[in-house]
Amino acid sequence: MADSSWLSKFPKMDRSTLLEIRKTLDGLYRDFSREYGDLIESFFDPLLDFLIWFEKLLVQSPWWAVLICITGFVYMASRSKKLSVGVVVAFLLIGYFGMWQDTMRTLSIITVCTLLAIALGVPIGILMARSNRVQSVVTPILDVMQTMPAFVYLIPVVMLLGIGKVPGVIAVIIYAIPPVIRLTNLGIRLVNKEVLEAATAYGATPMQRLLGVQLPLAGPTIMAGINQTIMMALAMVVIASMIGVKGLGQPVLKSITNQYFTLGLFNGLAIVALAIIFDRTSQAYAKRTQKHVQGGHHD
């Protein structure tokens, strides 16, 4: 009778075995991070230097100079006066409510994360579009990256690199990079077959096809991916603040633990303002560069 107990109870492994597995894995990883942690950390040193330099630049420059630069950049990209005025008003309000420094820190880390995500994501997306095999390997990894709770992969990153800016950047990138990879892949795969065939028929090399046809035509889709990546990076700011990333996330974290509703709301609104600025600017830029495609009165 005792033999059939698996019918009423799920046959699970011994508590001791499970403990053993956990201990072994934790031990292995701990050894690994002790052994190679410094090496890996030094590998990220240039990134850290850049992060610190960029943050200093934004935080220590006079606020009006930074504001002029940001507004100028937004206007260059979007060619929209309305949006530029909106940017000025938003940043003046943020400064007036005393969140200038935190906003600059967040802005700097988001900018770096986005640039890194594009630099890594677009090439991966291109590789995926070229080979079905790569696609079938990368797609499930992206699924995991997008669904795995952020805290879970924060643990090994922190164990390896400690608390600070670099692990924050890595965490943000892991969370935010999937859209740009997916949409680069999709955009290239959706490029009109006949246009690509025409390029081939005229003797274009694979590189000429990629740079002259595939990437430009996939442009709007890739831009949509970049836009999503920026939004997701901003959403990660609060979580990243838990591992020591300074910026708008930390006051929000403080308000959760101390139940400061107004403080949380103000900083939350500042994040929203940044998100809207990023979103509208990148969309206006994408639309402007794709004008010719819809630009006609014919069908």
Partner 1 sequence: MTNQQNKPVIQVRDLYKVFGKHPAKVMPMVKEGLAKDEVFAKTNHNVGLRSINLDIERGEIFVIMGLSGSGKSTLIRHFNRLIEPTEGKILVEDVDVMKLSPKELETFRRYKMSMVFQSFGLLPHHTVIDNVAYGLSIQGVDKATRNAKAHQWLETVGLKGYDDQYPAQLSGGQQQRVGLARALCTDAEILLMDEAFSALDPLIRSEMQDQLIELQKDLNKTIIFITHDLDEALRIGDRIAILKDGNLVQVGKPVDILLNPADDYVEAFVKDVNRPRALTVETVMRPPAHRLTADTIGEALKEMKRIPSNYAYYINEDGFQGVVCQEALEEAAKDDLKAPMDEFDTEGVEPVLPGASLESIIPETLEADFPIPVVDADGDLQGELSRTHLAGVLSDFYETEETQQSEKQ
Residue number with CB closer to partner 1 (101 or 290): 290
Q: Judged by CB under 8 A, does residue 217 bind partner 1?
A: yes
Site residue total, partner 1 (CB under 8 A): 26
Subset of residues 219 to 248 that bind partner 1, contact rule: CB under 8 A: 219
Return the closest-CA partner of residue 224 out of 285, 270, 276, 169.
Answer: 285
Return the amino acid letter for 188.
I
CB-based contacts of 157, cutoff 8 Å, min separation 6: 167, 170, 171, 243
Q: For residue 213, state whether it binds partner 1 (rule: CB under 8 A).
A: yes
Position 207 contacts partner 1 (CB under 8 A): no
Question: Rule CB under 8 A: is residue 287 a binding residue for partner 1?
Answer: no
**Which among 197, 229, 225, 224 is positioned nearest to 213, based on CA atoms?**
197
CA dist 139 and 291 (Å) reads: 32
Q: Which is nearer to partner 1, 259 or 294 (CB)?
A: 294
Nearer to partner 1, 17 or 205 (CB): 205
Nearer to partner 1, 101 or 200 (CB): 200
Measuring CA to CA, which residue among 293, 276, 280, 226 is closest to residue 78?
280
Write down the least CB distance from residue 231 to partner 1, Å.
Answer: 26
Residue 52 binds partner 1, judged by CB under 8 A: no
Residue 225 CB, shortest distance to partner 1, in Å, is 18
Residues 173-202 that bind partner 1 (CB under 8 A): 192, 194-195, 197-202
Rule CB under 8 A: choose which of 142, 204, 231, 263 binds partner 1.
204
Say which amino acid occupies 137: V
| CA 161 – CA 155 distance, rounded (Å) | 10
d(CA 164, CA 41): 11
At closest approach, how far in Å is the CB of 208 from partner 1? 6
Among 27, 98, 156, 212, binds partner 1 (CB under 8 A): 212
Cα separation, 162 vs 296, in Å, equals 56
**x-or-dash string of contact with partner 1, 127-146, rule CB under 8 A:** --------------------
Residue 219 Cβ vs partner 1, minimum distance, rounded to whole Å: 8
Q: Which residue has the tokens 């797609």?
A: 139
| Rounded Cα gap, residues 4 and 71, in angstroms | 73
All residues at 6 or more sequence positions from 102 whose CB lies less than 8 Å from its CB, including other chains = 246, 247, 248, 250, 251, 267, 270
Is 294 a residue that touches partner 1 (CB under 8 A)? yes
User: Residue 216 CB, nearest distance to partner 1 (Å)?
Assistant: 5
Residue type, 107: L
Q: What is the spatial distance between Cα 99 and Cα 92, in angstroms, rounded to a whole number?
A: 10
Answer for which of 203, 257, 259, 262 binds partner 1 (CB under 8 A) is 203
Least distance in angstroms from the C-beta of 270 to partner 1: 37
What are the helix (H) ranges across 8-98? 15-43, 45-60, 63-78, 81-96
- 293 binds partner 1, rule: CB under 8 A: yes
Task: Indicate the residue among 95 and 216 with the shorter CB distance to partner 1.
Answer: 216
Question: How far apart, in Å, are the Cα atoms of 143 and each of 38, 114, 167, 250, 269?
Answer: 30, 20, 21, 28, 30
Q: How far is the CB of 267 from partner 1 (least distance, A)?
A: 41
Residues of this chain that bind partner 1 (CB under 8 A): 192, 194-195, 197-205, 208, 212-213, 216-217, 219, 290, 292-298
